[in-house]
Every structure is written in C-alpha cells, then in structure tokens.
Amino acid sequence: MHANTDTLWINARLATCDAANPAPYGALDGHALWLRNGHIHAVLPQAAALAAFAAQGQIIDAHGAWLTPGLIDCHTHLVYGGNRAAEWEKRLTGVPYQQIAAEGGGIMATVRATRRLDEDELALASLPRLKALMREGVTTVEIKSGYGLTLADELKQLRAAQRLAATLPVEVATTLLAAHALPPEFSADADGYIDHVCAVILPAAAQEGLAEAVDVFCEGVGFSPAQTRRVFDAARAHGLPVKGHVEQLSNLHGAALVAEFGGLSADHIEYLDDGGIAALAASGTVAVLLPGAYYFLRETQKPPVEKLRAAGVAMAVSTDLNPGTSPFASIRLALNQACVLFGLTPEEALLGATRHAAQALGRGATHGRLAAGCVADLLVWQIEHPAEIVYGLGTNPLKQRVFRGVVQHLE
C-alpha cells in the first residue's frame, strides 16, 4: 500500500482524541476513516463513506479493532552515548549523588560518552531506543540535544536525531538543549557559557535547520531565570519557539517565564505554583508531565494535576527518556505512571500522548487526532476499551502501526 493511494478503514471503533467530539476519548462508532496522500481525508459514517469511496482505492477491514492517533513522545533525550546503570546501582546502595558526580559520574559521564561517538555511532546507539518506542505506537518523537555542550557535539546530536528520522518511518522534532548543564570548559563561568550558547551554538543550529525549538534547564543545579531569559531572547531573535525544564526541583518561576515567551511547553513542573498555573493557562502553554523521572528519582513532590485540570491547562505525558533519571523507552509505561502516580484518568493520559503532546510540539493542527486534515498516523489496537492501552504492561495490544497512511510491520 502506498501513501498516495486512497484507503478506507472500515469496521473500526475510533478513539479520535478530537476536542470537537465531547464523547470520552472522542469515540465514534459506525464511522470509517478515509486516508489520502498520507493524510486523513475524511471521517464519515461508514455507509456514506462506502458509497462515496466506490472503487477508487483499498478498503481495509479493522474487524472491530480500536483505532487511535499515533502516539507522540514530546520530551526525550533519546540520542546519547553510554549508560549510567553502574551509577544507579551506587545510588541505591546509599552513595550520594554529589560523590558520584565528584568521581566523574552524573550528567558529565553521559557528556563524555556522547562526545566520544561520531554521528554514525551516535545514531546507531540510539536506534534500539527509538525502535522500542515505535513498537508501542510512537509515530512522532521529540529528541533534544544537551549531552554535547560544545558547538560540534550539540550539532552532532541534532544531526544524529535527524538521521534517525530519515532511516525509520517516524517523525522527529529536534530541540536544542545546549543550556542543559555547565560543561567543564566553562567551569564556574555559567554566564560565559550562556554567552557561548546565545552567540555561537544557537545561531549555528538555527542556520543549519537542525532545531525547531530551544529548551533550557532552569533550576538551581542548571541555569538561573536571568540566564534562561537570555537564551529565550536569542531563540526569539532566530525565530525559534521555546520550552523549558522548569519547577522540577524547586520553584524559580520558570514556567511563568516560558509562558511570557508564548512557549510551547513547561516540562516537569512538580513545584509549579498558582501563579505559574495561571500563566500557563493564559498563554496556552502545555504542561508536560514526566512521571518516569519522578519515579526513578523517588521524588515526593507531585505536579499540581488537580489545579492544572481546574485551570484548563492542557497536560501532555512523555517518557523523558534519558540515561540518568528516566531510562525508559516505553510511552505506555509513562502513561500508566501518570495515572497511578499523578492521578490522571486513562483518557487524560491518552490525550497526553496524542492531542496535547501534539500541541506541545507545535503540531496541534495536524497531529494527535483522527480528524480531516491531520496526518494519517494511526494505530490499530486489539482491545475492548481504550483504557487498556494505559492499563496493562508487559504485553503489547498494538496490532498495526500506520505511518502517513502506510501500514508498518511491527518489529
């Protein structure tokens, strides 16, 4: 089957995840999904669709399976070298993180491992992680830099991410996270490094078209709000939207800063306060929940889900896939954790990896919904109810993965 061939999916139950449909999950029964040229051409009552479709393409019988939009993992650090399993083992035996970092562990261990790999090696090392996400139904994934922290190595990470997209049937959104940590070359000179990010790294990434957004780790162990603002100003000057790792370990009012710049998303947000919630609601910035890091670090401060819900802030859910604090290449695990640990409903969790995740990547108009005009990224699930996608782990109810209208083989 080719994407430029009309295809009609029939006898399916649709979880459209479309806000225009007030039913739970945006569910539709008795409707057919008409695909054309890699996009959804129409969602129609099945009898009307069959009459209009006639014999102009392929008809696929879903035999009562549920169809959902493709899943979107909107916050990952998927491209990196090495792993930190030995460091994690030390932490579990009581060795403090400060000691591990002083001995060469922590994020700088990943930076060294990432710098050692060339672009080919980096893409190859990252491939299994991306394939694991795809097996669970991910069709769009965001990949950040942030483990290079030099001009050459940050751009190398972004190029490796783009290479993955050229290799596999998946869409990759690249984000520049050069302001992730202070590299050893700028030891004790955070302002000097931010100067370098704003004047050298960010302009180069923008000029090469390697990043479609800019992120900053705004935190006591990262960069200050003033330094974050400088990076955001530089991003704006180059026409790039912003997002932020904010309020994960403390409240520096980073979310309000992201909202001030009309940012795409504020991520982590465990320490988000009422003012930050109001700012996100006013700007339309998405709150991205990352329960994997909360779980893996054994944190106790939960994001204010009930208040976000009450304020009407869209909540996305993502894996935060990274070697240090969330080494999980499983979007379904993240969705389950969001329900069990943070109190989301299964419907909210699924919307968090479809419609709201699309918004967090600036793709709300074209991704994350089964609706006319959206890309034809969809999943076929052998389930009785959409909650099953979030409910049970260890088995995979995904029957087929469709990317741009073309059915993909699950590896």
Calculate ∠ Cα 342-344-347, nearest 5°: 155
pLDDT digits (tens, 9 = 90+) for 337-374: 999 999 999 999 999 999 999 999 999 999 999 999 99
**One-letter amino acid identity for 62?**
A
pLDDT at 101: 80
Indicate the domain borders of the chain. 6-69+370-408, 71-360
User: How far apart are alpha carbons 149 and 117 in whole angstroms?
Assistant: 14
CATH code, 71-360: 3.20.20.140
Give, in words, the CATH class of 6-69+370-408: mainly beta
- DSSP assignments along 318-342, one per residue: ----BTTTB----HHHHHHHHHHHH
Model confidence, pTM: 0.97
Residue 260 CB neighbours (<10 A)? 16
Which pair of tokens denotes residue 157?
A: 């990470």
DSSP at 240: -
How far is Cα of residue 10 from the mean position of the Cα atoms in its chain? 30
Q: HSE, CB side, 13 Å, CA atoms: give it for residue 366.
A: 10
Question: Average pLDDT for consecutive 10-residue bins of the chain (411 residues)?
Answer: 77 98 97 97 97 90 98 99 95 88 89 98 98 98 98 98 97 98 96 98 98 98 97 98 97 98 98 98 98 96 98 98 97 98 98 99 98 98 98 96 92 63
Helix (H, G, I), strand (E, B) or coil at 211: coil
Buried b (16+ CB within 10 A) or exposed e, 268-302: bbbbbbeebbebbbebebbbbbbbbbbbbeebeee
6-10 sheet: strands from edge to edge: 39-45, 31-36, 6-10, 57-61
pLDDT digits (tens, 9 = 90+) for 3-35: 558 999 999 999 999 999 999 999 999 999 999
